[in-house]
């Protein structure tokens, strides 16, 4: 979560124009939002109570400022996933079907990912996939 927050809050130098901001910062923020969306939709089992609180705070106090629609949509998705978790026998979409990411890493990147927790590796995979599109 900290990794994504850091990327979302990426800023240019103070003398950068609005055009530079839109050209460089906006795509990074949208990629982070897409990674969060994919993570919540496909890997919600990774989220414990504290991570959910951190994510909702990040959406409310950071993402909401520049991207209110995306923040509200993602918050709604989180609430729906929490409701499905609390009542697993409801008629919601099945969360058990998961896709596999096949991302090729260089040997140095693969070595550094081996030491990371599984959710972080998934996030790194999602970010690399979103950057390569």
| pLDDT, tens only, 23-54 | 888 898 999 999 999 999 999 999 999 999 99
- Domain range annotation of the chain: 2-132
pLDDT at 20: 81
Asked if the model's pLDDT at residue 16 lies above 90, the reply is no
Within a 13 Å sphere around the CA of 43, how many CA atoms are in the beta-carbon half?
A: 18
Residues in the chain, overall count = 133
Query: Who wins on pLDDT, 132 or 7?
Result: 7
Read off the pLDDT band of 126 (50, 70, 90).
low
* pLDDT digit string, tens, across residues 72-117: 999 999 999 999 998 877 654 444 433 333 333 333 444 444 555 5
pLDDT at 124: 66
What DSSP line would sit under 46-80, residue for residue? Answer: G--HHHHHHHHHHIIIIIHHH-HHHHHHHHHHHHH
Contact 41, 77 (CB under 8 A): yes
Quote the pTM value: 0.64
């Amino acid at each position: 979560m900290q990794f994504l927050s850091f990327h979302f809050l990426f800023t240019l130098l103070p003398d950068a124009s609005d055009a530079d901001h839109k050209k460089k910062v906006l795509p990074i923020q949208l990629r982070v939002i897409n990674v969060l969306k994919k993570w919540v939709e496909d890997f919600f089992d990774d989220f414990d109570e504290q991570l959910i609180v951190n994510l909702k705070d990040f959406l409310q106090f950071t993402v909401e400022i520049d991207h209110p629609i995306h923040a509200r949509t993602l918050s709604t998705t989180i609430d729906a996933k929490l409701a499905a978790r609390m009542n697993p026998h409801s008629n919601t979409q099945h969360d058990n079907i998961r896709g596999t990411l096949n991302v090729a890493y260089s040997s140095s990147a693969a070595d550094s990912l081996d030491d990371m927790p599984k959710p972080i590796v998934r996030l790194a995979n999602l970010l690399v996939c979103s950057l390569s599109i």
